[in-house]
Chains A and B, each alone.
Chain A
Amino acid sequence: MATAAETTQEWSRRRRFSWARFSRASVPYGLILPVIAVLGAILGYPIYSLVRLSLQHYTLFELIQHHGQWVGLANFTSVLHDQVFWHTLVRTVIFTIVNVGLTIGGGLLIALLLVRVSPWVRILLTSGLVLVWSMPQVVAVQVWNWMTNFQNGVVNYTMTELHLGNYYGHDFTQSTFSALTLVTTLIVWGALPFVAITLYAALSQVPGELVEAAEIDGARPWRVFRDVTVPILRPVLLILTSLSILWDFGVFTQPYLLIRQVHIHPSNYLMGVYLFEEGYLKSDYGRGAAISILMLLIVITLSIVYVRRMVRIGEAE
């Protein structure tokens, strides 16, 4: 009897206790619920539609009808058999490698320079970098358009005066190579400040004693850099590189607005522009969806390193 009463009491206490625990445990879920619900509606549902679309014939006509026609994998077959897709992919990969290389390499050099200059030059240069960093992309594109316009661009003038060739009346967007070089200058210029300032912040974490000790041991500057500085910078470099790869691979605004509608052509497509032209402008949403999925898959693969590292940071804190 006594044991039974005890058990009931015990049971009810445990029950009350677990109710309290339950309500406490549900607090974080209640807090994240709104974000989950909104993201599910505005992102989850579109992504579900994306997969459906990619398996349908879906153009402007179907958009008005709200009804696509199932075609299985036809869109994917069509894209994967399209020379333009493969050429665009290769071009975008090369473009990304060049841009990321210049951004990270240049950013590292600027960071190393920032350590070596006098304080007033450091403040001047850092302020300049922050100013550049703050420039909106569309604004920067228009400034580039003005600086390189074929009638009286200041870049054309300076290059001609420096005897690099006759650039009067030269349109940089005419050949694929010079058009993409132009886009590269714009992207690298815009991306350098973030990379340089972040790397400089990381460099200032390198303990001075470590460098001194290495120097006393007779290490030359290059060895100090390679064996002391780089290992400390490695985690930051890794994150900056993955971020730059993702941004440059998916770039749209700069190439689209700088090459401009007149000169945009399959021979100078980058992935983002290709998707916009083939899917959105031609209103072939089914095929566009297939291209989007392929592009997103590539980006997701590329982002694994970055996302894993950041998730670990988020979990640890």
Chain B
Amino acid sequence: MRTRAARRAGWNTVGIALFVVMVFPVYWMVSTAFKTDDQITSLKPTWFPTHPTLVHFSNAIHTPFFWTDVKNSIIVVLFTVVVAMVLAFLAAVALAKYRFTGRKLFIFLIIGIQMLPGAGLIIPLYVVLARYHEVGKLSGVIITYLTFALPFCVWTLRGFIVGIPDELEEAAMVDGSTRLGAFTRILLPLVAPGLVATSVFAFITSWNEYIFARILLNDQNTQTVTVWLSYFLGTSRNQDWGALMAGSTLTAIPVIIFFLLVQKRIMFGLTAGAVKG
């Protein structure tokens, strides 16, 4: 019994050490954002920020184009999520509730497309969008974001709809509901949590996206937050690390909050079925 307790204490120590190592970069980001310039530039690190200051946050948000780029990100993300969710929901219902010829091919496409690396698609997307004068516009970025958001939403929503038993819908129809009535009154409320989770996750992926935004948006007026943040670090030797970390914290906060809300619901999307066996 004693050795067992000792062993558990040992594992606990390893676990806590691992926690410290893993979380340290996040801690270092947030704590740096609150440190004074003296503490940031000194060679000896300040492990805990005494005298926290908000000056870096104010510097970050007063950087040229910060608010414009935040607004751009929000526009891009909202349009992407709304369009993707509406179209994907229909297709997800088809996949979850109907058997039809070509279903397998459709599933194959939806999963296969999600595996294509963004880097491999930048050339054709850039050239095609340039042909239609969509380079440098947010609408062009929304189009490219749909290439990954649509398949993702179809596949994830399908998982949520499959879980709802057909009998519920049938029972409503026996009770005199039309198919559409059964759909809106029975199916929709039951899928609502899944709809929210999927939208939030699509929101996060689009908000975080970098490569498409980088190649399509070259004007600072029409950039997204990730591109803004990536250009923050110039080539000069003296960097404003405090403001960079404050900007990083601000970019990450909405993502972290949303992610914590939906992580449990969504995490098995990519490995669905494999865990359940």
Q: Are A and B interaction partners?
A: yes
Q: Which of A's residues lie within 8 Å of B, judged by CB?
A: 25, 27-29, 31-32, 34-36, 38-39, 42-43, 45-47, 49-50, 53, 58, 63, 66, 110, 113-114, 116-118, 121-122, 124-125, 128-147, 149, 151-152, 154, 157, 168, 189, 192-194, 197-198, 201-202, 205, 232, 235-236, 238-240, 243, 246, 249-250, 252-253, 257, 260-262, 271-272, 275-276, 279-280, 285, 288-289, 292, 295-296, 299-300, 303, 306-307, 309-311, 313-317
A/B interface sample: 15 pairs, CB < 8 A: A29-B102, A35-B150, A39-B150, A46-B124, A49-B128, A128-B22, A128-B23, A146-B241, A192-B22, A252-B118, A275-B122, A285-B126, A292-B122, A303-B115, A316-B273
Q: Which of A66, A114, A135, A197 contacts B267 (CB 8 A)?
A: A197
Selecting from B168-176, B185-193, B208-216, the interface stretch reads B208-216
Closest to B252 in A: A139
Q: What is the CA–CA distance of A25 and B28 in the complex, to the nearest angstrom? A: 58
CB of A201 to closest CB in B, whole Å: 5
The contact string, 1 if C-beta is below 8 Å from chain A, for chain B 117-139, is: 11111111111101100000000
Q: What is the CA–CA distance of A140 and B255 in the complex, to the nearest angstrom? A: 13
Categorize the interface residue count of chain B.
35 or more
In the bound complex, residues from chain A placing their C-beta under 8 Å from that of B28 are: 143, 146-147, 154
Q: What is the CA–CA distance of A212 and B229 in the complex, to the nearest angstrom? A: 53
Q: Which of A25, A139, A285 contacts B29 (CB 8 A)?
A: A139
The reply to whether the CB of B88 lies closer than 8 angstroms to some CB of chain A is yes
In the bound complex, residues from chain B placing their C-beta under 8 Å from that of A317 are: 96, 162, 273
CB of A238 to closest CB in B, whole Å: 8
B251 with A138: CB separation less than 8 A? yes
In the bound complex, residues from chain A placing their C-beta under 8 Å from that of B111 are: 306-307, 310-311, 314
A132 with B251: CB separation less than 8 A? no
Given contacts A42-B144, A311-B111, contact A253 B211 (CB under 8 A): yes
A315 with B275: CB separation less than 8 A? no
The B interface, classified by DSSP as helix, strand, loop or mixed, is: helix
Q: Which of B16, B43, B111, B247 has the most CB of A within 10 A?
A: B111
B126 with A32: CB separation less than 8 A? no
Q: A38-B146, A143-B26 are in contact. List 4 more A-B contacts (CB 8 A).
A: A113-B18, A146-B28, A310-B273, A313-B273
Q: What is the CA–CA distance of A276 and B143 in the complex, to the nearest angstrom? A: 20
Query: Which 5 A/B pairs are nearest by Cβ-Cβ distance?
Result: A250-B117, A134-B259, A272-B119, A31-B94, A313-B273
B275 with A275: CB separation less than 8 A? no
Closest to A43 in B: B147
Q: How many A-B residue pairs have CB under 8 A?
A: 306
CB of A283 to closest CB in B, whole Å: 10
In the bound complex, residues from chain B placing their C-beta under 8 Å from that of A295 are: 117, 119-120
CB of A276 to closest CB in B, whole Å: 6
A113 with B14: CB separation less than 8 A? yes
Q: Which of A34, A42, A124, A252 contacts B119 (CB 8 A)?
A: A252
The reply to whether the CB of B107 lies closer than 8 angstroms to some CB of chain A is yes
A39 with B23: CB separation less than 8 A? no
Q: What is the CA–CA distance of A292 and B14 in the complex, to the nearest angstrom? A: 44
Given contacts A239-B274, A275-B122, contact A299 B115 (CB under 8 A): yes
A285 with B123: CB separation less than 8 A? yes
Q: What is the CA–CA distance of A132 and B207 in the complex, to the nearest angstrom? A: 17
Closest to A41 in B: B143
Q: What is the CA–CA distance of A301 and B30 in the complex, to the nearest angstrom? A: 41
The contact string, 1 if C-beta is below 8 Å from chain A, for chain B 1-21, is: 000000110011011101100
In the bound complex, residues from chain A placing their C-beta under 8 Å from that of B25 are: 132, 135, 140, 143-144, 147, 189
B26 with A275: CB separation less than 8 A? no
In the bound complex, residues from chain B placing their C-beta under 8 Å from that of A280 are: 122-123, 126, 215
A35 with B90: CB separation less than 8 A? yes
B233 with A42: CB separation less than 8 A? no
The reply to whether the CB of B32 lies closer than 8 angstroms to some CB of chain A is yes
B26 with A149: CB separation less than 8 A? no
The reply to whether the CB of B263 lies closer than 8 angstroms to some CB of chain A is yes
Given contacts A31-B91, A35-B90, A299-B115, contact A136 B125 (CB under 8 A): no
Q: What is the CA–CA distance of A292 and B211 in the complex, to the nearest angstrom? A: 15
B90 with A34: CB separation less than 8 A? yes
Given contacts A31-B91, A121-B16, A124-B15, contact A198 B208 (CB under 8 A): no
A138 with B123: CB separation less than 8 A? no
A236 with B275: CB separation less than 8 A? yes
CB of B154 to closest CB in A, whole Å: 6
CB of B49 to closest CB in A, whole Å: 13
In the bound complex, residues from chain A placing their C-beta under 8 Å from that of B96 are: 317
In the bound complex, residues from chain A placing their C-beta under 8 Å from that of B255 are: 134-136
The reply to whether the CB of B106 lies closer than 8 angstroms to some CB of chain A is yes
Given contacts A32-B91, A47-B124, contact A143 B245 (CB under 8 A): yes
CB of A236 to closest CB in B, whole Å: 5
A121 with B226: CB separation less than 8 A? no
CB of B85 to closest CB in A, whole Å: 11
